[in-house]
Amino acid sequence: MNRFALIVFLVVCISGCGSGQLDEDIREQADVLFRGGRYFQALSLYEDLCARAPEYDSALQYRLAETAVLASQAERSRNYRQRAFTALDVLSHNPGECDSLSIGQLWRRLGWEMARDNDSLQAYEAFGRAVAIAPSLTQVFEEEWLLRGKFASVHLASVAAVSDSIKGTSAEDSLLRLAAETHIVELDRIPLVRTDLRGEVLFTRARLIRFTIGREADELAVLTELDRMGLIDPGSRQRRMEILLLLSDNDIASGDIALARERLLEIWGSSFTGVRVEAALKLGLMAEGAGDPVDALMWYNRACQVAPGLSSGASMEAAARRDSLRYLVTP
């Protein structure tokens, strides 16, 4: 039945039947179209039925949402995806006797349709709504967790719902930290057997960890694994050196000099000038503290030679200590 014939059919029904009979006829026609796979035509009829219904009918709303999702998959249209989102939103707020898992699966299918259209924000929302109404889906989500994590790692302020009134405050930091921790937990649910996703999971995890506090060792482990896999980028490699430098301070404070020296030597072997200067200075300070002025002078000289024109605090301190030790070491 084409669109014109359908309109004629409805006009005849309206002229010859009461509203109750009309609704039954429209429902029958919508069901016929649904069973025939003509979802975009059935969708309009189900929407009309829901609008005309004297009271909310969860079963009818479910059929509307299901039809809208199927139409969005068949037509690949943003219009149908938005209509599906609206129908599912209404259904999720008042599911009635409908099976929550079935509703969750509809959200999941809609999420992938949105992801295929590069609408990451709504895909993120759809997957979140899926597990909210059907928690058992957490056991089967894999790539969905990764998509949510990747989106959050780039748009964390949006995900955390940070308002303009609290930007730049400790409240913003708390919200960002909570959102980051939430998505790190989601990433941890992805099975290790999904080795095809491992690189992206690690990279996403590394970006999220930066918003947390006191997890430098975890971030180092993630970046080290990325480095071993050959997937680390220059920015992340420099970040790894910065973490090594930070952790070396903790090692020195706790008395683990051997581990601190190992970390600092690795930094010295890198190609990042700023952290190399700081590493050389710390190695010189460690040697000086151990009563070895010759070794200390060597490291101070190296710190100054790495970047002769560098005017950082570390380079200036290394130069000052070098000059003072020369009188003690040089015959």
Is the predicted pLDDT of residue 13 greater than 70, yes or no?
no
**Residue 19's pLDDT band (cuts 50, 70, 90):** low
Does 159 map to a domain? no
Is 268 within the bounds of a domain? no
- Residue 193: inside a domain, yes or no? no
Q: Is the pLDDT of residue 22 over 80?
A: no
Nearest Cα to Cα of residue 151 among 105, 183, 194, 113: 183
Mean pLDDT for all residues in the chain = 90
Residue 126 maps to a domain:
no
Task: Among 51-55, 225-229, 235-239, 261-265, name the one with the lowest average pLDDT.
Answer: 51-55
Average pLDDT over residues 53-82: 93
* Alpha carbons 85 and 203: distance in angstroms, whole number: 30
Helix or strand run (H / E) with residue 307:
none
Within a domain: 59:
yes
Distance of alpha carbon 88 from alpha carbon 3, whole angstroms: 26
Contacts of 76 (CB under 8 A, 6+ apart): 113, 116, 117
User: What are phi and psi for residue 215, nearest 5 degrees?
Assistant: -120, 35
CB 163 within 8 A of CB 180: no
Sign of CA dihedral 199, 203, 204, 208: positive
In a domain, 93, yes or no: yes
Per-residue pLDDT, 53: 87
> How far apart, in whole angstroms, are the C-alpha atoms of residue 23 and residue 36?
20
Q: What is the mean pLDDT of residues 77-95?
A: 95
Predicted confidence band at 25 (pLDDT cuts at 50, 70, 90)? confident
Q: What is the pLDDT of residue 330?
A: 60
pLDDT in tens, 275-331: 999 999 999 999 999 999 899 999 999 998 887 766 788 888 998 899 888 876 665
Residue range 217-226: mean pLDDT, rounded: 96
CB 274 within 8 A of CB 263: no
Show the domain range for 8. Answer: 1-99
- Give the per-residue pLDDT at 7: 43
CATH of the domain at 73: 1.25.40
Question: What is the tally of structural domains in the chain?
Answer: 1
Reported as a single tens digit per residue, the pLDDT across 115-138 is 998 889 999 999 999 999 999 999
SS3 of residue 232 by DSSP: coil
Question: Does 25 map to a domain?
Answer: yes
Tokens of 93: 């707020």
Give pLDDT, residue 11: 42
In this predicted structure, the answer to whether residue 105 has a pLDDT above a threshold of 80 is yes
- Residue 278 included in any domain: no
